[in-house]
């Protein structure tokens, strides 16, 4: 499967493709809006959302701060349950471990479910090379596998396709025309996959949470396929990002409250499975052999980095994507990586130590903060985007033209006199291009802006030029301050001295 960036080397080019694709924009808008509204409704019904959100954040902060301890505990317990635990520092190592297992059990087919990590590793392509067929069994994943595309959303991988496009793909797969009806299409995939589940030698899943106290892993899903994947094949492999840990089942209660509500607005997903080790003799079903591959692949870069450690708190709910106005317009493929949306824009560069290889994905944000507001564990993604931009500048990988522009900016705005001079020049210059108090010219730096807008002209006098007259007039007719207002202002100064603050919700 080719997982390269879809048709475009830069974010701008990829975004342009998406912006010109009305099907995509309509489909993404429709579904993100449904999910976003679902989440808002679920928050309202929950009644105590902010408090639980803070609890969730605290659990994640605590776990990540003691990640080595909880990882050890998890591994010890999982091993005691009879699980083979592997560590993979890089994507390649994780692929190698998976392939070695597949070869040892002479696997011909692998059925898969719910794993963004496996997308990160491009595992399907690697398995194909050694002659192992990998079959995605989540409906959305199955669709994009047929289309040979990467996922465009963390939890709705085929969000960019409408049901007619999906019907077309599935019809081709079926060799007969299927009606573009969700039930019919889902029914077809279910029938088609049934035999695959029974045939498969390996079941492979991701992991929503790993519970340290018992060495268990927990999966949330709606289709029931993850349950098949984890019970039918003889061998089970779980791919798990090293940060998926939470300490206890009690903590899971908080996460189970936050995750489905944030993802889809559901109180709980249709299925929630907790898996603790392979099949015991008294169990009716389950794999004989169970492996957990704990994947680093750049995650430990964030450990101990005060600006980015919170990134490890992410529970991959997708709420930030659904809240993001940029994502709504350009969809997931424009981000060019496995993870898209605000979390992808931060995660993709953060997982890569080599700043020279970062593309300009962090620039594809207006820094509106909708992601932070939506995030169930309050990750300040909008701040992190700025830190990424700064790191790129500091490492000398910025755009040279912009470097010059920003130097000019600093020179200009360090002294008010310089600013006034430039304004004067601007007033002279605009005489040549302004009509009816507006500038419509579409050349040079104004091209992009004026493709969508009319630029206002500079007024005759700037504020500072009007100040002396205005100030004199005000002072002449000045009213006396009421004692109440005076007292309030003094109080504000006093409370400030006592350390009171206002504004800035996070910081």
Partner 1 sequence: MKVSLFITCLSDAIYPRVGEAMVRLLARYGVTLEFPPIQTCCGQPAFNSGYWNEARTTAKTIIEAFEDSDFVIAPSGSCTGMIHHYPKLFENDPAMLDKALALQSKTYEFTQFLVNVLGVTDVGATFRHKVTYHPSCHGSRLMGIKDEPMALMTRVKGLEFVPLPHAEDCCGFGGTFAVKMSDISGAMVSEKSDHVKETEAEVLVGLDMACLMNIAGNLRYRNEPVKVMHLAELLYEGVR
Q: Which is nearer to ligand SF4, 205 or 262 (CB)?
A: 262
Q: Which is nearer to partner 1, 280 or 442 (CB)?
A: 442
Count of chain residues binding partner 1 (CB under 8 A): 89
Q: Pick what 343 binds: ligand SF4, partner 1, none; C-beta below 5 to 8 Å, kind-dependent.
A: ligand SF4
CA distance 441 to 18: 26
Helix (H, G, I), strand (E, B) or coil at 114: coil
From the CB of residue 177, how many other CB atoms can be counted at a distance below 10 Å?
A: 11
Query: Contact, 159 vs 28, CB < 8 A?
Result: yes
Shortest Å distance, C-beta 122 to partner 1: 27
* Angle of CA points 204, 205, 210, to nearest 5°: 130
Q: Pick what 451 binds: partner 1, ligand SF4, none; C-beta below 5 to 8 Å, kind-dependent.
A: partner 1
Q: Which is nearer to partner 1, 73 or 362 (CB)?
A: 362
Helices (H), 278-399: 319-323, 325-330, 341-350, 370-374, 381-394
Residue among 104, 288, 481, 494 that touches partner 1 (CB under 8 A): 481
Residue among 290, 312, 364, 377 that touches partner 1 (CB under 8 A): 364
Q: Pick what 376 binds: partner 1, ligand SF4, none; C-beta below 5 to 8 Å, kind-dependent.
A: ligand SF4
Shortest Å distance, C-beta 342 to partner 1: 12
CA distance 2 to 98: 19
Residue among 47, 401, 451, 472 that touches partner 1 (CB under 8 A): 451
Work out the angle between the directed axes of helices 400-414 and 416-430 (0-180°, nearest 10): 110
Shortest Å distance, C-beta 386 to partner 1: 6
| Residue 219, φ and ψ in degrees, nearest 5 | -125, 135
Please state, in angstroms and as integers, the Cα–Cα distance from residue 473 to each residue in 98, 322, 469, following that order: 79, 51, 6
Shortest Å distance, C-beta 30 to ligand SF4: 20
Q: Which of 280, 330, 364 is nearest to 159 (CA)?
A: 330
Please report whether residue 345 would count as binding partner 1 according to CB under 8 A. Answer: no
Q: Which is nearer to partner 1, 51 or 403 (CB)?
A: 403
Q: Pick what 503 binds: partner 1, ligand SF4, none; C-beta below 5 to 8 Å, kind-dependent.
A: partner 1
CA distance 316 to 152: 14
Query: Contact, 56 vs 376, CB < 8 A?
Result: yes
Query: Contact, 323 vs 262, CB < 8 A?
Result: no
Q: Pick what 315 binds: ligand SF4, partner 1, none; C-beta below 5 to 8 Å, kind-dependent.
A: ligand SF4
Shortest Å distance, C-beta 313 to ligand SF4: 7
Tokens 């496009």 belong to residue: 165
Within residues 102-161, the interface with partner 1 by CB under 8 A covers: none
Dmax over CA atoms of the chain, in Å, equals 94
Q: Which is nearer to partner 1, 217 or 319 (CB)?
A: 319
Q: Pick what 488 binds: ligand SF4, partner 1, none; C-beta below 5 to 8 Å, kind-dependent.
A: partner 1
Burial of 151 (0-12, 13-18, 19+ CB in 10 A): buried
From the CB of residue 286, how many other CB atoms can be counted at a distance below 10 Å?
A: 17
Q: Which is nearer to ligand SF4, 88 or 319 (CB)?
A: 319
Work out the angle between the directed axes of helices 22-46 and 11-19 (0-180°, nearest 10): 90
Q: Give me 506's structure tokens.
A: 């996070």
Q: Pick what 409 binds: ligand SF4, partner 1, none; C-beta below 5 to 8 Å, kind-dependent.
A: partner 1
Q: Pick what 314 binds: partner 1, ligand SF4, none; C-beta below 5 to 8 Å, kind-dependent.
A: ligand SF4
Shortest Å distance, C-beta 344 to ligand SF4: 9
Residue ranges binding ligand SF4 (CB under 6 A) = 154, 262, 314-320, 343, 374-377, 379, 381
Question: Judging by DSSP bridges, how do beta strands 434-435 and 245-246 pair with one another?
Answer: unpaired
Please report whether residue 498 would count as binding partner 1 according to CB under 8 A. Answer: no
Q: Pick what 442 binds: ligand SF4, partner 1, none; C-beta below 5 to 8 Å, kind-dependent.
A: none
Within residues 386-445, the interface with partner 1 by CB under 8 A covers: 386, 388-394, 398, 402-403, 406-407, 409-410, 412-416, 419, 423, 426, 438, 445
Q: Which is nearer to ligand SF4, 169 or 375 (CB)?
A: 375
Please report whether residue 475 would count as binding partner 1 according to CB under 8 A. Answer: yes
């Amino acid at each position: 499967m080719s997982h390269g960036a879809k048709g475009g080397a830069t974010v701008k080019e990829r975004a342009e493709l998406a912006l010109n694709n009305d099907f995509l924009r309509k489909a993404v808008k429709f579904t993100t809006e449904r999910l976003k509204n679902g989440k808002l409704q679920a928050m309202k019904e929950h009644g105590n959302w902010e408090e639980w959100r803070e609890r969730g954040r605290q659990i994640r902060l605590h776990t990540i701060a003691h990640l080595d301890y909880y990882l050890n505990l998890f591994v010890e317990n999982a091993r005691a349950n009879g699980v083979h635990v592997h560590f993979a520092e890089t994507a390649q190592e994780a692929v190698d471990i998976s392939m070695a297992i597949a070869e040892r059990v002479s696997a011909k087919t692998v059925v898969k479910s719910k794993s963004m990590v496996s997308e990160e590793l491009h595992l399907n392509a690697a398995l194909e090379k050694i002659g192992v067929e990998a079959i995605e069994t989540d409906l959305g994943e199955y669709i994009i596998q047929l289309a040979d595309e990467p996922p465009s959303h963390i939890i709705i991988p085929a969000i960019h396709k409408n049901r007619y496009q999906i019907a077309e793909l599935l019809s081709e797969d079926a060799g007969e025309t299927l009606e573009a009806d969700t039930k019919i299409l889902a029914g077809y995939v279910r029938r088609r996959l049934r035999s695959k589940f029974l045939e498969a030698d390996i079941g492979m899943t991701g992991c929503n949470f790993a519970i340290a106290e018992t060495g268990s892993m927990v999966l949330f899903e709606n289709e029931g396929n993850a349950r098949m994947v984890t019970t039918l094949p003889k061998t089970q492999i779980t791919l798990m990002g090293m940060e998926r840990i939470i300490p206890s089942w009690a903590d899971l209660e908080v996460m189970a409250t936050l995750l489905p509500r944030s993802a889809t607005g559901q109180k709980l997903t249709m299925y929630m499975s907790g898996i603790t080790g392979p099949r015991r003799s008294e169990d009716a079903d389950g794999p004989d052999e169970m492996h957990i591959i704990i994947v680093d692949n750049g995650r430990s870069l964030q450990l101990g980095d005060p600006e980015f450690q919170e990134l490890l708190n992410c529970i991959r709910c997708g709420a930030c994507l659904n809240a993001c106005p940029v994502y709504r317009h350009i969809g997931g493929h424009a981000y060019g990586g496995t993870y898209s949306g605000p979390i992808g824009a931060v995660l993709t560069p953060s997982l890569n130590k080599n700043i020279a290889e970062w593309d300009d994905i962090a620039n594809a944000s207006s820094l509106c903060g909708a992601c932070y507001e939506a995030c169930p564990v309050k990750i300040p993604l909008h701040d992190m985007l700025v830190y990424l931009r700064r790191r790129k500048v500091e490492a000398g990988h910025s755009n040279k033209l912009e470097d010059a522009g920003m130097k000019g900016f600093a020179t200009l705005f360090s002294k008010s006199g310089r600013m006034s001079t430039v304004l004067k020049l601007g007033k002279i210059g605009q005489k040549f291009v302004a009509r009816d108090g507006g500038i419509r010219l579409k050349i040079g730096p104004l091209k992009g802006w004026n493709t969508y807008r009319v630029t206002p002209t500079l007024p005759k006098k700037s504020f500072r030029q009007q100040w002396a007259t205005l100030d004199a007039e005000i002072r002449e007719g000045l009213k006396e301050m009421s004692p109440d207002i005076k007292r309030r202002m003094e109080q504000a100064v006093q409370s400030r001295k006592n350390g009171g603050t206002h504004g800035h919700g996070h910081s």
